[in-house]
């Protein structure tokens, strides 16, 4: 199996309010799983408001130098580029945002996790990684993987229950 720890990625920010503004690279780095962590982190922090309304900030992650490798190795259903975009209903995204950041509004754009917020993000990234990279015989839709995560959020009655479920599905335990 291909080592995904060396894959270059970019989180792309799009301002959906100012349609004239070109997309820009928000964050970049190396490693497939950390790209998923950063995608969820950016989307939950800036992509949805503390009132559960989708904001004008939109994020997706691309792997500019590794498109064919990921398509062939993991049988991912993609067109010309690889984008993993967090999709789903706003109530689940809002609840996940509350689990990670709490109910407080952002102050001075500083991210402040609740006690288990960072753990939840790590477990989500790990589970998302598993969804995308396991069972290579089955063609996967990128959108359906984030939908499965949000369905798990919807079914969980608390952040503790979500953590327990994610620990059983993630590739490692914290």
State the chain's mean pLDDT as an integer: 80
What is the C-alpha separation between 140 and 134, in angstroms, rounded?
10
pLDDT at 173 over 50: no
The pLDDT, as a whole number, for residue 29 is: 95
Per the domain annotation, does 141 fall within a domain?
Answer: yes
The pLDDT, as a whole number, for residue 86 is: 65
- pLDDT digits over 153-164, tens only? 999 999 999 999
Per the domain annotation, does 113 fall within a domain?
Answer: yes
Nearest to 172 by CA among 119, 96, 115, 95: 119
Domains of the chain: total: 1
Per the domain annotation, does 37 fall within a domain?
Answer: yes
Range of the domain at 154: 4-169
The answer to whether 146 and 87 have CB atoms below 8 angstroms apart is yes
Per the domain annotation, does 174 fall within a domain?
Answer: no
What is the C-alpha separation between 154 and 50, in angstroms, rounded?
17
Angle ∠(27,31,33) on CA atoms, nearest 5: 95
pLDDT band at 132 (very low <50, low <70, confident <90, very high): confident
Per the domain annotation, does 111 fall within a domain?
Answer: yes
pLDDT at 110 over 90: no
The packing angle between helices 142-155 and 159-169, to 10°, is: 140
- pLDDT digits over 57-96, tens only? 888 888 887 767 766 666 665 554 455 666 656 788 889 9
Per the domain annotation, does 44 fall within a domain?
Answer: yes
Identify the weakest region by mean pLDDT among 12-16, 124-128, 135-139.
135-139
Per the domain annotation, does 29 fall within a domain?
Answer: yes
pTM: 0.84
Between 135 and 149, name the one with better pLDDT. 149
């Amino acid at each position: 199996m291909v080592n995904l720890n060396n894959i270059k990625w970019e989180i792309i920010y799009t301002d959906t309010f100012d349609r004239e503004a070109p997309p820009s690279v928000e964050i970049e780095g190396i490693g497939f799983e950390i790209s998923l962590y950063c995608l969820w982190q950016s989307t939950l922090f800036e992509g949805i408001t503390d009132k559960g309304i989708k904001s004008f900030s939109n994020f997706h992650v691309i792997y500019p130098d590794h498109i064919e490798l990921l398509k062939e190795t993991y049988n991912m259903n993609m067109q010309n580029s690889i984008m993993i975009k967090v999709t789903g209903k706003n109530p689940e995204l809002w609840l996940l945002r509350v689990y990670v950041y709490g109910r407080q509004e952002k102050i001075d754009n500083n991210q402040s996790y609740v006690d288990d917020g960072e753990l939840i993000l790590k477990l989500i990234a790990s589970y998302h990684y598993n969804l995308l990279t396991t069972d290579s015989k089955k063609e996967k839709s990128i959108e359906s993987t984030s939908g499965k995560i949000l369905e798990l959020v919807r079914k969980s009655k608390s952040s503790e229950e979500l953590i327990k479920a994610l620990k059983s599905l993630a590739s490692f335990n914290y």
